[in-house]
Amino acid sequence: MIIRDFDTERDKEAVYRIWREVGWLEKGKEAQMDCGLYAGTALVAEVNGEAECLVLSTPGTIRYLEEDLSLDAVTGVTTSYVARKQGLAGRVLARSIATRAKEGMLVSGLGMFDQGYYNQLGFGTGGYEHHLRFDPAQLTVSTKARIPRRLTTKDVETIHEVRLKRMRSHGSCNLLPSAATQADVENSENGFGLGYFDGEAGELTHCFWGSAKGEHGPYSIYLLLFQTPAQFLELMALLKNLGDQVHIVGMHEPANIQIQDLLKQPMKHRRVTQKSELEVGSWSAAYWQMRINDLAGCLAKTHLESKSVRFQLHLTDPIEKFLDTEETWRGTSGDYIVTLGEESEAVRGTDSSLPVLTATVNAFTRMWLGVRPATGLAITDTLSGSPELLATLDKVLRLPSPRPDWDF
Ligand SMILES: CC(C)(COP(=O)(O)OP(=O)(O)OC[C@H]1O[C@@H](n2cnc3c(N)ncnc32)[C@H](O)[C@@H]1OP(=O)(O)O)[C@@H](O)C(=O)NCCC(=O)NCCS
């Protein structure tokens, strides 16, 4: 088995076949896959002379409070029918992460098909994301929406630019190449967009992009992009204007906003529509995962508004067993002296006078990001320390919920 870079001429038909076999690609829609294929780097594993496993990665950033850290966004991990359970996906992904880590990507992230698989490579599960379905006619926003402009798939570059500039919060991710937004826009069935061009030079400032279904919906909003609270309210008012015709809109709840605050009689409508095709309500799922690739690099960008804590960290990183022996990047395992506070750092070494925290990189990443506090992770994940140290870590790492706000 050979792991190597994807080669368009040699591998294109083989990787289309992989995606057809896993059900991600319909015949005739190859251009959609190309967006992902060329949005970053692609690695394949070759079996009997053909590419049978494909791992895609796109360069991005993840926000940690006010800082942006480099992100390796893993956008696809697939193995064909003939090569399953040979350890290919694990090894190709480990190689991809190692290469990106050596290039300076501090964090890797992905959307998981299920919990457990990527945990083997050091990934820790993120927090719950809320998905809402509501009747836009029930929105209570008092803002009056002005007449918007239509957006089409030809506006991808413009949409991508405004997506990168959108209002962001802790944990939010940006995928940098516009092909990443193109993949989202082109993959939406009956896609449509509406937006406002209020920029000084007439550029797009706020918009949404979604999928229409039939006359009454459900419509799905995939991108809701705004830079100010007033722009957000105008987009909600615009959705409300569709409410005479469209009965259901589904979307992820934006960070820091509780959509239910803007809905009239949400509980009544939940009861009335229960089990119907037009059911309203909210559902939650924790489906994204992250891992730290460079602890010292991540902590150098960690500035907390709290008192500081210093401890001895014994970190284990399970990715090591998926890496080839000649690979120089071996993950993050080791002993570190860690300081968390306004200025944070991780230095390799030991100091027996310090309290000890023992953790996998999976659990440490979750604690560092603020998915769950140390005391909670000590119950359900692989992280342990004295009750005093865990309680101090809870206080020092009081962070907003991390919200990627970009599905990949
Ligand atoms: C997921 C997928 C990439 C795995 O490919 P693969 O090359 O067969 O994977 P590997 O050989 O590296 O690993 C398979 C092992 O992981 C195990 N595994 C699978 N899901 C797991 C889970 N949720 N938790 C723990 N282990 C899991 C399997 O049982 C198997 O173990 P075994 O070999 O001891 O039986 C492949 O099944 C696939 O392409 N699926 C469809 C597309 C998809 O969902 N991709 C992932 C997108 S996030």
HEC profile for 315-370?
Answer: EECHHHHHCCCCCCCCCCCEEEEEEECCCCEEEECCCCCCCEEEEEHHHHHHHHHC
Report the 10 Å Cβ neighbour count for 397: 19
- pLDDT, position 205: 98
The closest-lying atom of ligand 1 relative to the alpha carbon of residue 79 is: 39
Show Cβ contacts of residue 227 under 8 Å, excluding neighbours closer than 6 positions.
162, 165, 166, 167, 205, 206
Whether 89 is in the pocket of ligand 1, judged by its Cβ within 6 Å, is yes
* Sign for the pseudo-dihedral over CA of 22, 23, 24, 29: positive
Place of tokens 């190709």: 92
Residue type, 38: Y
Whether 88 is in the pocket of ligand 1, judged by its Cβ within 6 Å, is yes
Given a contact cutoff of 8 angstroms between Cβ atoms, the answer to whether 131 and 285 are in contact is yes
- pLDDT, position 197: 98
* Sign for the pseudo-dihedral over CA of 183, 186, 191, 193: positive
Task: Give 45's strand partners.
Answer: 3, 53
Tokens for 104, please give them.
Answer: 């300076």
Given a contact cutoff of 8 angstroms between Cβ atoms, the answer to whether 308 and 341 are in contact is yes
Torsion of CA 55, 61, 62, 63, to 10 degrees: 180
Mean pLDDT (10-residue bins), the chain, 408 residues: 94 96 92 89 96 98 98 98 97 98 98 98 98 97 97 97 98 97 91 97 97 93 98 98 97 96 96 94 97 98 96 98 96 98 98 98 98 98 98 98 97
Given a contact cutoff of 8 angstroms between Cβ atoms, the answer to whether 111 and 73 are in contact is no
What is the β-pairing status of strands 129-134 and 249-252?
Answer: antiparallel
Indicate the pTM of the whole model: 0.96
Distance from C-alpha of 229 to C-alpha of 143, rounded to nearest angstrom: 11
- Distances from the Cα of 43 to the Cα of 31, 65, 200, 230, angstroms: 19, 32, 42, 43
- pLDDT, position 279: 95
The closest-lying atom of ligand 1 relative to the alpha carbon of residue 91 is: 12
Length of the chain: 408
Given a contact cutoff of 8 angstroms between Cβ atoms, the answer to whether 88 and 79 are in contact is yes
Residue type, 8: T
Domains and CATH numbers, the chain: 2-105 (3.40.630.30), 130-285 (3.40.630.30), 289-396 (3.30.1050.10)
Distance from C-alpha of 40 to C-alpha of 97, rounded to nearest angstrom: 13
* Sign for the pseudo-dihedral over CA of 103, 109, 111, 117: positive
Whether 84 is in the pocket of ligand 1, judged by its Cβ within 6 Å, is yes
Place of tokens 């395992």: 333
Among 88, 117, 407, say which to mutate for ligand 1: greatest number of ligand atoms within 8 Å of CB.
117
Show Cβ contacts of residue 169 under 8 Å, excluding neighbours closer than 6 positions.
63, 255, 256, 400, 403, 405
The closest-lying atom of ligand 1 relative to the alpha carbon of residue 112 is: 48
How close is the Cα of 228 to the center of ligand 1, in Å?
Answer: 42
Q: What is the DSSP code (8-state) at residue 155?
A: G
- pLDDT, position 1: 83
Given a contact cutoff of 8 angstroms between Cβ atoms, the answer to whether 62 and 294 are in contact is no
CA 371 to chain centre: 13
Among 18, 20, 79, say which to mutate for ligand 1: greatest number of ligand atoms within 8 Å of CB.
79
